[in-house]
Amino acid sequence: MRQELSCAISCTALTRRKGGHVPRTQSVTVLSLHTSPLSQPGQGDAGGLNVFVLNSSRALARAGYDVHIFTRWPEDRSHSPEPGLTVHGVPAGGATPLSKEELRAVVPDFARRVQLHPDFNAAAPIHSHYWLSGEAARLLRRASGAPWIHTMHTTAARKAHHAGASEADMGRLAAETRIGAEADALTANTAADRRELVTDLGVAPGKVHVVSPGIDTEIFTPLGPAARWPVAAPGLRLLFAGRIQPYKGPQIALGAVAALQRRGLEASLVLIGERSGMDARDPEELARQAGIGDRVTALPAVPQAELASWYRAADLVLMPSRHETYGLVAAEALASGTPVVAHDVGGLSTLIRDDVDGMLVTSLDPERWADALEPLVRQGHAPQQWEREAAKTGSARGWDATARTLVALYSELSAAHSAPPAL
């Protein structure tokens, strides 16, 4: 069992990178229209996409790229968190906060403002993230002719399969199909993600490249301090980290703890994240209604360094999501030495090795989750073998490897665009 330590960690963003001049001979335009990469993951619409955009861009900057990220922001201002990386705010559609559904109307204004921005390089590759940015990239590419790479992160087809579809989702599906047909390349988080893009959107297999996310291996490690668990005599310590919304499954985690308590078994649950979406409910109120209010603690989203301390404090991290293209929370937890119990779906099925560094559960029924957790609750901890294997699994995933894959893809597409036409 890992030692628990009291931990008070600053919320200041970490900029621990080594100094020294890095020559910058290449540039890339990154689009993240609907959410700023500087937003705190776990708040609002911020999540794994934000982590991917910010950390892959940091790694590209370390590799010598001049990275310009454009995001919708109320003010027309730029911020350079570190050398080679600039985040530009684009006040498309005015300063009023807009929902994802409302943002589609401002796509043309966003694309126009990016094109006119003094730091937009019309010859540089464009890498768009999420379908709204992809729609803007379509317009920019028409004007500039630059290579265009797109990362879906999630799709309407997957949402429809796992949670049902609305009329708005059908419009999004049509947009994603156009993006898949017109982009020069798409990236997928895993081979399973790649297969879904080919099957769901009809993307040509040769256009889809697997670019796995990384983790910050200086932050997510078993060797750092652990947070103080808020429940006395906690039993098995369970952690959920992510947006508080039904799609991510916090209600499944709560239901499993309630089911365990009905069986006379002790477990406690910490949820880290904030409510997102109209159908999100207060987890502490749900816990009280289920009779487990004294076993559950809900906390706001926290910076990555503090999140790592919570991973280290937990016996298990739970990921009962309906779907994940990858599952960055799982990767971070593994690197911190904490096994993961996850829904056997999407990227989680690839990331978690069942009964090696965690467990895969095929159902989203809270009773089945309680069944899976019961043997671990009875022994009071996760198998030590899982902890050892978790640390081995997670330690291999750095963002510099992600950047190397992206650099190769950008270079290949840029060379193809600059080559003279065949005779």
pLDDT digits (tens, 9 = 90+) for 85-130: 999 999 999 888 888 889 999 999 999 999 999 999 999 999 999 9
Confidence of residue 189 (pLDDT cuts 50, 70, 90): very high
Domain count, the chain: 2
Whether residue 91 is found in the same domain as residue 59: yes
Q: Which amino acid is at 67?
A: V
pLDDT of 422 > 60? The answer is no
Are the C-beta atoms of residues 261 and 295 closer than 8 Å to each other? yes
Whether residue 125 is found in the same domain as residue 45: yes
Is 20 domain-assigned?
A: no
Mapped onto helix, strand or coil, the DSSP state of residue 341 is strand
Domain membership of residue 149 as a residue range: 26-214+398-418
Mean of pLDDT over the chain = 89
**120 CB-near residues (< 8 Å, 6+ apart):** 29, 68, 70, 114
Question: What is the tally of helices (H) and strands (E) in the chain?
Answer: 15, 14
Whether residue 54 is found in the same domain as residue 99: yes
Whether residue 243 is found in the same domain as residue 210: no
Q: Which residues of 140-153 are buried (b: 16+ CB within 10 A; e: fewer)?
A: bbeebebbbbbbbb
Whether residue 384 is found in the same domain as residue 263: yes
pLDDT digits (tens, 9 = 90+) for 302-355: 999 999 999 999 999 999 999 898 899 999 999 999 999 999 998 899 999 999
Whether residue 117 is found in the same domain as residue 243: no
Instruction: Report strand pairing: 185-188 vs 148-151.
Output: parallel
Whether residue 402 is found in the same domain as residue 389: no
Instruction: Give the CATH number, domain containing residue 202.
Output: 3.40.50.2000
Whether residue 146 is found in the same domain as residue 250: no
The residue ranking higher by pLDDT, 157 or 262, is 262
Whether residue 252 is found in the same domain as residue 320: yes
Mean pLDDT, to the nearest integer, of 19-37? Answer: 82
Whether residue 373 is found in the same domain as residue 407: no
Spatial strand order of the sheet with 126-129 comes to 78-82, 85-90, 65-72, 26-31, 126-129, 148-151, 185-188, 208-210
Rounded Cα–Cα distance for residues 347 and 338 (Å): 18
Rounded Cα–Cα distance for residues 284 and 398 (Å): 35
Is 412 domain-assigned?
A: yes
Is 206 domain-assigned?
A: yes
Instruction: Identify any residues that bridge with 352 across adjacent strands, giving them in sequence order.
Output: none
Whether residue 168 is found in the same domain as residue 290: no
Whether residue 263 is found in the same domain as residue 310: yes
